[in-house]
Amino acid sequence: MNPFKPTLFILFTTFILTAGNIQLDFPYFTTTNTATNITFIGDSSLRNRFVSLTKSTTFSTGSIIYNKPISLFDILTNTTSSFSTMFSFSITNPNNPTSFGDGIAFFLSPNNISSLSSSSSASTFGLPTNFVAVEFDTRFDRRFNDPNENHIGFNIDTLNSMKIVDPIYNGIDLKSGNTITSWIDYKTDVNSLSVFLSYSPIKPRDPILFVTVDLSEYFRGNDGVYVGFSASAEKSTELHQIQSWSFYTVGFEPARPRLRSHNVSDNSVTVSTGNEVHVNASRPHSRSHSFSSKKRFGLGFAVAGPVLFCVVFSLLGYYSFMKWKGVRKCTLKNFGTGFVAYPREFNYRELKSATREFHPSRIVGHGSFGTVYKAFFISSGTIAAVKRSRHSHEGKAEFHSELSIIAGLRHKNLVQLLGWCVEKGELLLVYDFMPNGSLDKMLYKEPERGKLLSWSHRVNIVVGLASVLVYLHQECEQRVIHRDIKTANVLLDGNFNPRLGDFGLAKLMDHDKSPVSTLTAGTMGYLAPEYLQYGKATDKTDVFSYGVVVLEVACGKRPIEREGTKMVNLVDWVWGLYSEGKIIEAVDKRLNGEFEEEEMKKVLMLGLSCANPDSAERPTMRRVLQILNNEAVPFTVPKVKPCLTFSSDLPLTIDEIVSDVDDGEGEEFNTSQSMCEIKIEG
């Protein structure tokens, strides 16, 4: 391990101290939640809701540390606390992919902040004098007996690791540039430290590194330890980022009860357990051999009351159970028989605890039928997204639709369903958590996030979304029509790969069957003209929506936006520029010309091809993917946007529907609400 080896310090947004337990939760980093909690040392900084420990310059070193010491030893009970931590990180070198720095280290140290700051030099790669650390090393250094440039080690007060493993045997390359999640668990009852590692946010069953070690002496006599990370790049421009972090202690084992001698009767004993004292004293009394009528009545009521309560409670419980059983039975029937893997049924109490009782601070978005919460499962150290349905008939229908459809789908560009729950009158779905949120937030809220999607990321999103739609339309046993393709339903994982989600409006359809009329459902601006008119969902209506998303990604504009007093349709606007031979002017100005012009033109023209008002002229998604992969020639797009005539009028014109969005005079128009959810009888 190199002395320049990077070490990262991560701080927590939530600080909870209850019943001897501490929990720190930092799902992402902002200026607000790091100002009073984190000390940034060296080149470390806050970027795009991530903590960046190093800069893209050589000899860069940085650390961050949680400001308050954490107690891991209890003097009263003479016990050490167990602890667990989970964090997601990435190690990349965009300037020179073949050159790497030293890696990342998670550590605990009894040293105070001032000594940590003074010791954060390249010669010690940010580690204090005394430390317990787990290193994720990406540099081969003979001075520290490193086996190679890709290893994980456990260290105490020295850079020579006590135990080392190579994660490549588990398929993990620390220098891959992918987001990696690590779990570190220390169990004081068995004196063991385990390290788990995965590209997925799901905790593996077996640890990648296991060490038998007693840390009680290390923590004994200290007021607390400081927790953090550090990193350095030496001669490389390697970047080290922490994307999320959580840390919690399991608590202290109570001391055995101690008997104390007091001048009391034999029935009186004082028991001291930890910090609590319970006294059970019995006083001498005389027994009465007769009761008054009032006493008899009181005794009878005392006996009958609880019995009556138990009977009523049992009846209500039975009624609730049967009602829940009926909903659950209906849910199970929706699975069918041909699914790859049966999703897990979660316990309601577990989901409630993981979302802090569905606290508003855990809300990360809204799906087609309810609210989405971020859930942290302490027992497994994993993070997930929990979608909670609205209490309505429509909510139940969309819950069953999404559960029954997505449970049987498997594709790298789909949000993975982890499980479900039907309990306490709630309908809940559990998904993989996507740390970069939805595509629309990345496109339109970048100034506050400080992150601009690069052109390479945008192309990857367009290709990935096309790939999953090919799977849904042509490669599934039954064709799946999503019916709600939009940027809000495209989620981004830690590497900005697209994951299509929200199948609440999706429909299954046999490949050889024609579409039937249904309810027109979706979001204005993404709906194909024939779908609005006839209410018939087909694969070509999904293609139209995909085309709008492609134009959004390239242009950085919403499908319908207000410009002054007018509402501008994105497809019309881009087609107008194309008619004038100026289609390149539609490109998102925030890209500052950092794109290949021919590739950009191809993507813009592809978006117009898919958004053609004439469904017969739209390409299939397979053809779209072939065009993007340069395996097919792009479609010819007419210079003038085609016009269609329908046999009957819509219940509302497009202008009338859109005008409903801004019905408050004098109020500032919010472009984030410039699209309305509609349902029109077909």
Dihedral class, residue 38 (left if φ above 0, else alpha if ψ from -120 to 50, else beta): beta
Alpha carbon distance 349, 346 (integer Å) = 9
Alpha carbon distance 372, 501 (integer Å) = 12
Within 160-229, residue ranges assigned H as helices are 216-219
- The amino acid present at 248, given as its one-letter code, is Y
Backbone angles phi, psi at 181, to 5 degrees: -110, 135
Alpha carbon distance 369, 398 (integer Å) = 6
Alpha carbon distance 682, 673 (integer Å) = 25
- The amino acid present at 131, given as its one-letter code, is F
Question: Among candidates 66, 183, 89, 103, which has minimal Cα distance to 435?
Answer: 89
Within 143-288, residue ranges assigned H as helices are 216-219
- The amino acid present at 119, given as its one-letter code, is S
Return all residues near 404 (Cβ < 8 A) that are at least 6 apart: 334, 335, 336
Return all residues near 80 (Cβ < 8 A) that are at least 6 apart: 72, 73, 74, 188, 215, 216, 219, 220, 252
Strands 677-681 and 14-18: unpaired
Question: Among candidates 27, 377, 74, 427, which has minimal Cα distance to 219?
Answer: 74
Q: Which residues are catalytic?
A: 484
Alpha carbon distance 595, 612 (integer Å) = 25
Alpha carbon distance 155, 133 (integer Å) = 5
C-alpha torsion 564→567→573→575, nearest 10: -160
Return all residues near 659 (Cβ < 8 A) that are at least 6 apart: 567
Alpha carbon distance 379, 672 (integer Å) = 37
